[in-house]
Amino acid sequence: MATSTIPELITHKGCRMIKGIHHPHEVDQIQDLELRDSDVFVVTYPKSGTIWMQQILLALKSKGNEDSVQSVERVSTKDTLNNWDLVPWIEGPGKVLEFVKAESPRHNVTHLLYHLMPQELSRRRGKVIYVARNPKDILVSFYYFHKMLSELETPKSFDEFFDKFIIGDVFSAAVFGGSWFEHVKSWFSHKDDIDMLFLTYEEMIQDLQTVVRRTAEFLGADLTQDQLNSVVKQSTFKNMKQNPRANYEKMDGNLINHQEGRFMRKGTIGDWKNHFTVAQSERFDKVFKQEMKDFPVSFIWDIQEIS
Ligand code: A3P
């Protein structure tokens, strides 16, 4: 059962965060963290496929051997492990301290903006994998996620959530994660300053095998073809849907309302077409065109474009 307190967002240094989960004094420590060459940060705007890349990293780290991930689970002091316990949020409570003490290689995820991340990244210490997704599908995925997660305000309706996402100085200034435009543009603008692999959710859907191979190469992970195939297999939507670690199935009912749906929901491109009205789509396109006019990467909006 979800708790009845209304969750609140705070803005810290231009970043929209969840009050009570993200503590500004901890977030401020991240910029000064000393990095190791083997550190990896997966960076995403919410609902862009964070858990998917967490899964790929975990499977690459174990060289495709699911048993070795399960053995971590067996010795864990926690009752249940989620992917986020194994590849944690650097901005989560207490995570900075854990990061400092963790053994190499340290793999983390974040929704933070570039300027809040370790400055050592710009000295090419550590690596970043940025995963971007078309924002119409993000909006829909985010809407359902808001209905599930007690730490995010339950939307009154899809239309209300759409307005919240689109209204403001720029997109989504009113939701957790802030502006999608700002997120993707600001990270992309630093892609040559840091060691970054820029991927899209849509290319992961289109050709997971190639994305896994490129990710392994980027990380310098040496896997045989069979091991890479196993990583791909463990990272398909079908298999992740059955993996409780990826599905947050055992997550506390106070935090996530399992009656409202599953974390691994549709896993496709173009579900926005089942939710947006023609007017909403046109309104969205107008803002997108204006904000992204100089952005060199194009997005895929419909599964038909790749099939
Ligand atoms: P949908 O709600 O559109 O299904 P995040 O981890 O950043 O919160 O992103 C969650 C979104 O990624 C969800 O989108 C989820 O279904 C999708 N996803 C996760 N793993 C996936 C996979 N293996 N294949 C396709 N989509 C995946």
* Residue 125: inside a domain: yes
**How large is the average pLDDT for residues 296-301?**
96
Full domain range(s) for residue 184: 10-305
* Residue 199: inside a domain: yes
Please pick, among 111, 146, 183, 275, the residue that the annotation labels catalytic.
Answer: 111
**Other CB atoms within 10 Å distance of the CB of residue 198:** 15
* Residue 3: inside a domain: no
> Is residue 168 over pLDDT 50?
no
Q: Enter the tokens of residue 216.
A: 């392994």
Q: How far apart, in whole angstroms, are the C-alpha atoms of residue 166 and residue 250?
A: 33
Report the pocket of ligand 1 as residue ranges, CB < 6 Å. Answer: 44, 46-52, 137, 141, 144, 235-237, 240, 264-267, 271
68-98 residue pLDDT tens:
666 556 555 565 677 778 899 999 999 999 9
* Residue 5: inside a domain: no
* Residue 88: inside a domain: yes
pLDDT value, residue 105:
94
241-290 residue pLDDT tens:
998 888 777 677 677 777 777 889 999 999 999 999 999 999 999 999 99
* Residue 1: inside a domain: no
Q: How far apart, in whole angstroms, are the C-alpha atoms of residue 95 and residue 13?
A: 19
With b for 16 or more beta-carbon neighbours within 10 A and e for fewer, the 79-105 pattern comes to eebbbbebbbbbbbeebbeebeeeeeb
183 Cα–ligand 1 center, Å? 18
Q: Is 110 strand, coil or helix?
A: strand
Domain containing 98 — which CATH number? 3.40.50.300
* Residue 31: inside a domain: yes
Catalytic status, residue 111: yes
Q: Look at the chain and report how many structural domains it folds into.
A: 1
pLDDT value, residue 9:
84
| CB distance 3 to 11 below 8 Å | no
| CB distance 131 to 44 below 8 Å | yes
Q: Tell the residue nearest (CA) to atom 8 of ligand 1.
A: 47
* Residue 134: inside a domain: yes
Q: Enter the tokens of residue 31.
A: 């910029």
